Structure 1
């Protein structure tokens, strides 16, 4: 997927969204994630020296200027009003994009996928493709128990946005069982799915190369990463546990490789109430750090 060579080095905004009002299933508690992940980020950021950081994975020193990652605080959350909170998050994402920066929306539950997509889509005249890492499809339309904007509907609502290019979007890491109606929607819209079993079989490197090629033609890319993509053995602090997921190594490799192509990131469903010694919050902090450091210069 070609990225304009003239694009200046990216700068990132971190936007917390301490909200889990869309968690109608699984375990609530992801409202506490932004604070816990920020705390874990401090462990990483203290390794900067003179505007640089040393990446052991590639034996390379990377620029990390003071303004590379700016913490903009939390978006305005209205605890009793799901739709107002989603609108607030979308406005914050759009504002970051219009300011020429790359937003990172840190949830919170996965209803926040939709405002991240909406904010990016509203702030650009071009098309948007979504790379959706999740154990689940999140293509539920509406039902009595969950309504239209729950953590099970974020991708469905995003696919309805007029400039989201569904046929260029792809879901990665799904597994086990889902609604037959979600399959029918996927097939009708040309939404590609790469289950976790395929990632294990082919390897993360080959799958991500395939994803990058699939994105080709879209003007902007949203990376939506639900932490339950990762196997609960590696990420126990999640809203739901689905065995057979990606390893932490596969997840980090995927985020590093995709980072140069991504214009906005939403990371959701870290749940400190089910975490073990901040293992999952720490992994989420590293996902963000690799996204920022390896995505600074466009591919």
Structure 2
């Protein structure tokens, strides 16, 4: 097996099994990479939550995510698409240092750089972890691509906190991307922002950097299709590649009780599912992540199930792009 330097087998493994010959479950389909075979989509865990500014058990998310594989099938009833022809492989979890957050971030950056160098046509999907993982993942991607990258972020928060007050955290990935010149502010679109979750000063910072901002209320009023059309139209002429980052707290607290920053008035799962499917289908989308799910605060895995559906709807978009 051709081992990856900063990625190890996950702590939780799933037994594929086969009960009903007419049903294919994710646990049968998403298998470990054998080190040789070609594949199209990589699943990678980033079990880090020490960098969260509020208490978070988001490091538990990759394991909870995988444990649900036996609960869902590969068939999208609404689209009449079976995902089985799409080759998805689990590469494992990025190695995390026990106490050194900066080292964890370096491991993520180096892991993503290696993945993109070795598998330039593969679309990696990163399961966080808190939102601090997005900056190093994009930094690693940027080293390899050397092209202009755009970001579409689904989040209740701006994530542009000043790194002088606490270092790189789940509240700083967008600011870090801009200040380290990984992504230009004008190439970032944030969708789903909520009142009483941000500050005027950070809004002014984001606007000054040219970041496009859409509130959850705008999505409710105008519709996710229109908002996404505007985002794609804005980025299409300028960027060569797009990274999609999904903070699950963008959804309403009634749907995702297991996020550290729950809040009312968020997006609906239908809106988010539709958006990520469209972005998976877009040929400029090269990677995505899902962050800030805390299984220790969840009820009946409700939030982890939502994040898994985000992943699956994104894969439906990829299927349409690669196999239609």
Tell me if TM exceeds 0.5: yes
Q: Contact (CA 8 Å) 2:158, 2:206: kept in 1 or not?
A: no
**Corresponding residue for 1:279?**
302
Q: Does 2:186 correspond to 1:198?
A: no
**Corresponding residue for 2:103?**
84
Q: Contact (CA 8 Å) 1:139, 1:182: kept in 2 or not?
A: yes
**Corresponding residue for 2:293?**
270
Q: 1:179, CA displacement in angstroms?
A: 2.5
| Aligned-partner Cα distance in 2 for 1:131–1:42 | 30
Of 260, 270, 276, 1:255 maps to 276
- Long gaps (5+) in structure 2: 1-37
Q: Contact (CA 8 Å) 1:41, 1:282: kept in 2 or not?
A: no
Q: Contact (CA 8 Å) 1:138, 1:153: kept in 2 or not?
A: yes
**Corresponding residue for 2:153?**
132
Q: Does 2:71 correspond to 1:43?
A: yes
Shift in alpha-carbon separation, 1:120–1:42, aligned structure 2, 3 A: farther
Q: Contact (CA 8 Å) 2:274, 2:313: kept in 1 or not?
A: no
After superposition, give the CA deviation of every residue in 1:85-108 in whole Å (9 maximum; x if it has no partner): 011111222222221211111111
| Aligned-partner Cα distance in 2 for 1:184–1:68 | 43
Q: Contact (CA 8 Å) 1:231, 1:245: kept in 2 or not?
A: yes
SS in 1 for 2:126: strand
| Aligned-partner Cα distance in 2 for 1:57–1:90 | 37
- Long gaps (5+) in structure 1: 1-8, 49-53
**Corresponding residue for 2:242?**
221
Q: Which has the larger radius of gyration?
A: 2
SS in 2 for 1:263: strand
After superposition, give the CA deviation of every residue in 1:238-260 in whole Å (9 maximum; x if it has no partner): 01112110011111111111112
Of 134, 147, 158, 1:113 maps to 134
Q: TM-score, normalised by structure 2?
A: 0.81
Q: Contact (CA 8 Å) 1:228, 1:240: kept in 2 or not?
A: yes
**Corresponding residue for 1:12?**
41
SS in 2 for 1:193: strand
Q: Contact (CA 8 Å) 2:154, 2:250: kept in 1 or not?
A: yes
Q: TM-score, normalised by structure 1?
A: 0.88
CA RMSD of superposed structures (Å): 1.8
**Corresponding residue for 1:209?**
229
Q: Contact (CA 8 Å) 2:256, 2:302: kept in 1 or not?
A: yes
Q: Does 2:320 correspond to 1:291?
A: no
After superposition, give the CA deviation of every residue in 1:252-282 in whole Å (9 maximum; x if it has no partner): 1111111123211111001101111001101
Q: 1:182, CA displacement in angstroms?
A: 1.3
